[in-house]
Structure 1
Amino acid sequence: MYEEAEQLKKALERRPVIDMASGVLMATWSCAAEEAWQVLVRVSQYANTKLYDVARAVVAATQHQPVPVHLQDHLAAAATAWRARRADGA
């Protein structure tokens, strides 16, 4: 029970950062919340990096901090894929 409570606490602490990162993507790319979420998940999966760490990097970039090298290509690929889907009307 204690472990479950700790996991819930950790999730509640990390959720605002993930939400902020989604907001950054929504504002930057003019995309919907679900699309921003999908981008974060895609980058997390392909970069083999926790979603929270991807979100922190996106938020940190708004403060002119460099995006970690291992995430740069994955974010660029996600942006390209998102733009292609948008151009196709999907």
Structure 2
Amino acid sequence: MEQLRHALASRPVIDQARGVLMALHSCTSDEAWHVLREASQLSNTKLRAVAAAVAAGADCDGPPPPPGIRVALRTALGRLRR
């Protein structure tokens, strides 16, 4: 039950991050999902934390993602374009 609550709470931030990636990188929703998932795996960071970093960084004065997540996102986005 707790896992379900956590999944429901995480969903909005993941959807926001997908929207940010779609807008900034002209990718589909599925491609954005794969980028988030791959960045999570590459950085050994929870998917929700990666999504929160992407969403927070979308604000004009928002902080950039931490270095490990930033590198993982760059790698995942690079693979998307191949």
Match of 2:51 in 1: 55
Match of 2:25 in 1: 29
AA of the residue aligned to 2:29: A
AA of the residue aligned to 2:73: L
Q: Report the alpha carbon displacement of residue 77 of structure 1 after superposing the two structures with TM.
A: 1.0
Match of 1:17 in 2: 13
Match of 2:68 in 1: 70
Q: Report the alpha carbon displacement of residue 80 of structure 1 after superposing the two structures with TM.
A: 1.3
What's the TM-score, normalizing by structure 2? 0.91
Q: Can you give the 5+ residue segments of structure 1 that lack an aligned partner in the other structure?
A: 85-90
Q: Can you give the 5+ residue segments of structure 2 that lack an aligned partner in the other structure?
A: none
What's the TM-score, normalizing by structure 1? 0.84
Work out the CA distance in 2 between the residues paired with 1:10 and 1:47.
21
The count of aligned residue pairs is 80
Rg bigger for which structure?
1
Work out the CA distance in 2 between the residues paired with 1:22 and 1:38.
10
